[in-house]
């Protein structure tokens, strides 16, 4: 139920087919919206092992099967009439993540991360630290891709000593609770050996219906922890997790409110927080010392296309934030450099496809701040330049912007691609835009 675009639906379909199952994939989206995902399972469709029911769900599909695998994106699953029909018919319901955690070879080597913000960054930092400390690591979950194939696929790269780093959303955690398990297949809820909670702020209330339900779902991260397990939380008074009751024998590691790791390759105080959390989690594994973990986390270059440090050429650092497709995201990216090294060192490239956002905040950056330069490209370039009172440098293309920057930049400067607009006017997608930026940086400046 729910093929989706992020790899989990395709992955679990392939895995089930590899186990010999006959799979019906059903999704409310019509086929044209799901094309890339469908193409990935095309051979299985052609062989007749997988069939499709797209653009609708059909109750009888849910009541005549052996197992329903729900996509965690399905909102308020307890209210969903198709899942209710499956439950009423005694059909077990599970998720890709649940199938995977039930097959992990060694729970003592699991670290799972949740929180409202900073999940992906903290999880990626933990995976980075452990890998560079010489550990085997499998990293999956909400970060994307198919976790079940990494855990239980025919070529799964996992063994009893592999550390499993699992980023979990509140939706995924909802499905890991014991009460979600139908009576026909009783099994306990699942929580990791090391639980990491970055922070809790109101989020995804459309899915959960209430803040209480959201926080209760997040608490599954610790609810089924066992004696000897560890929960890493922030000790700030407003933070819910610091007050959560932990099961007996679970050790709470509470980070001081100002815990931070300095000297990171990536900017922003929130990342210094994330690094402190990641270091604490890795130290808790007893496989890495604090000194080593801090040294390694400083080399973390960020998630791809999200304020990612792609290189330093002639004393100038290049950051790819191509994933920024809204003006708000660009303002956040700029803010990350406001203290260090200061916006007067930042050459910011903005603009792209016009999806109707208010572009004035982008243009105003050239008026309200002392940016080293605002370079406007793409379809929205002229509108951004107009909103900047003519202070932005209209460059039309990314290549032209990069050449303009080359003649103006000084050692210690930052070149930041954070477009605040979608990419489709000049690029296939944001990944293509980001990789073009990296290539140009190398060609023009390297
Ligand atoms: P998530 O996976 O929880 O969505 P990410 O690590 O992908 O989080 O970060 C997404 C955005 O959230 C970042 O660009 C940043 O603006 C913000 N963010 C990251 N870490 C934190 C944090 N510790 N506290 C507050 N905001 C954060």
pTM of structure: 0.92
- Report residue 246's pLDDT band, with 50, 70 and 90 as the boundaries: very high
Q: Classify the C-alpha dihedral 254-260-261-266 as positive or negative.
A: positive
Q: What is the pLDDT of residue 186?
A: 58
What's the rounded mean pLDDT across residues 288-293? 98
Our measurement of the distance from residue 90's CA atom to the centroid of its chain's CA atoms, rounded to an integer in Å, reads 34
Give residue 293 CA to ligand 1 midpoint distance, Å: 21
Q: Looking at the predicted structure, is the pLDDT value of residue 183 above 50?
A: no
Q: Name the residue of 6, 112, 113, 117 whose CB sits within 8 Å of the most ligand 1 atoms, as the mutation to test its pocket.
A: 117
Query: If you take atom 13 of ligand 1, which residue's CA is the nearest one?
Result: 118
Q: Looking at the predicted structure, is the pLDDT value of residue 237 above 70?
A: no
Q: CA of 282: how far to CAs of 160, 177, 194, 254, 287, in Å?
A: 18, 25, 9, 14, 7
Average pLDDT, the chain: 93
Q: Is the CB of 198 under 6 A from ligand 1?
A: yes
Query: If you take atom 26 of ligand 1, which residue's CA is the nearest one?
Result: 117
Q: Looking at the predicted structure, is the pLDDT value of residue 104 above 50?
A: yes
Query: If you take atom 8 of ligand 1, which residue's CA is the nearest one?
Result: 118
Give residue 333 CA to ligand 1 midpoint distance, Å: 11
Burial of 412 (0-12, 13-18, 19+ CB in 10 A): exposed
Give residue 310 CA to ligand 1 midpoint distance, Å: 19
- Report residue 410's pLDDT band, with 50, 70 and 90 as the boundaries: very high
Q: Is the CB of 301 under 6 A from ligand 1?
A: no
Q: Is the CB of 199 under 6 A from ligand 1?
A: yes
Q: What is the pLDDT of residue 179?
A: 64
Q: What is the pLDDT of residue 110?
A: 98
Query: If you take atom 9 of ligand 1, which residue's CA is the nearest one?
Result: 118
The ligand 1 atom nearest the CA atom of 142: 2
Q: Report pLDDT digits (tens) over 84-95.
A: 999 999 999 999
Give residue 122 CA to ligand 1 midpoint distance, Å: 9
Q: Is the CB of 260 under 6 A from ligand 1?
A: no
- Report residue 7's pLDDT band, with 50, 70 and 90 as the boundaries: confident
Q: Distance between CA atoms of 271 and 155, rounded to whole angstroms?
A: 34
Q: Is the CB of 329 under 6 A from ligand 1?
A: no
Q: Is the CB of 423 under 6 A from ligand 1?
A: no
Q: What is the pLDDT of residue 438?
A: 97
Show Cβ contacts of residue 242 under 8 Å, excluding neighbours closer than 6 positions: 233, 234, 235, 236, 254
Q: Name the residue of 6, 113, 115, 121 whose CB sits within 8 Å of the most ligand 1 atoms, as the mutation to test its pocket.
A: 121
Q: Distance between CA atoms of 175 and 98, rounded to whole angstroms?
A: 7
Q: Report pLDDT digits (tens) over 197-222.
A: 998 877 778 888 888 888 899 999 99
- Report residue 332's pLDDT band, with 50, 70 and 90 as the boundaries: very high
Q: Looking at the predicted structure, is the pLDDT value of residue 64 above 90?
A: yes
The ligand 1 atom nearest the CA atom of 274: 23
Q: Is the CB of 274 under 6 A from ligand 1?
A: yes
Please state, as a whole number, how many other Cβ atoms lie within 10 Å of the Cβ of residue 368: 11
The ligand 1 atom nearest the CA atom of 116: 3
Q: What is the pLDDT of residue 241?
A: 83
């Amino acid at each position: 139920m729910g093929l989706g675009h992020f790899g989990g639906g395709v992955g679990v379909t392939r895995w089930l087919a590899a186990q010999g199952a006959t799979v019906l994939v059903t999704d409310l989206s019509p086929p044209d919206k799901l094309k890339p995902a469908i193409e990935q399972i095309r051979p299985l469709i052609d062989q007749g092992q997988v069939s499709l029911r797209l653009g609708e769900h059909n109750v009888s599909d849910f009541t005549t099967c052996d197992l329903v695998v729900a996509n965690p994106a399905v909102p308020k699953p307890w209210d969903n009439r198709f899942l209710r029909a499956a439950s009423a018919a005694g059909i077990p319901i599970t998720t890709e993540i649940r199938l995977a955690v039930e097959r992990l070879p060694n729970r003592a080597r699991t670290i799972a991360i949740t929180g409202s913000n900073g999940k992906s960054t903290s999880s990626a930092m933990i995976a980075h630290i452990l890998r560079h400390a010489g550990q085997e690591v499998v990293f999956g979950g909400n970060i994307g891709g198919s976790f079940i194939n990494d855990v239980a696929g025919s070529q799964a790269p996992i063994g009893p000593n592999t550390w499993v780093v699992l980023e979990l959303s509140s939706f995924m955690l909802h499905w890991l609770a014991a009460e979600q398990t139908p009576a026909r297949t009783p099994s306990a809820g699942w929580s990791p050996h090391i639980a990491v909670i970055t922070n809790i702020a109101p989020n995804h209330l459309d899915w959960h219906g209430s803040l209480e339900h959201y926080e209760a779902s997040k608490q599954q991260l610790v609810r089924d922890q066992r004696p000897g397990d560890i929960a890493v939380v922030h000790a700030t008074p407003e933070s819910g997790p610091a007050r959560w009751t932990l099961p007996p024998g679970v050790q709470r590691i509470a980070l001081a409110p100002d815990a931070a790791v300095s000297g990171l390759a990536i900017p922003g105080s929130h990342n210094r927080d994330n690094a402190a959390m990641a270091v604490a989690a890795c130290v808790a594994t007893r496989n890495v010392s604090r000194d080593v973990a801090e040294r390694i986390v400083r080399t973390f270059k960020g998630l791809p296309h999200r304020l990612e440090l792609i290189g330093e050429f002639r004393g100038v650092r290049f950051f790819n934030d191509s994933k920024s497709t809204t003006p708000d995201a660009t303002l956040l990216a700029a803010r990350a450099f406001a203290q260090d090294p200061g916006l007067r060192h930042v050459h910011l490239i903005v603009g792209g496809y016009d999806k109707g956002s208010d572009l004035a905040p982008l243009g105003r950056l050239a008026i309200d701040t002392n940016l080293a330069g605002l370079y406007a490209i793409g379809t929205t370039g002229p509108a951004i330049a107009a909103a900047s009172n003519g202070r932005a440098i209209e460059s039309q293309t990314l290549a032209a912007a990069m050449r303009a920057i080359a003649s103006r930049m000084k050692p210690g400067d930052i070149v930041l691609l954070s477009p605040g607009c979608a990419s489709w006017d000049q690029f296939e997608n944001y990944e293509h835009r980001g990789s073009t930026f990296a290539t140009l940086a190398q060609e023009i400046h390297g």
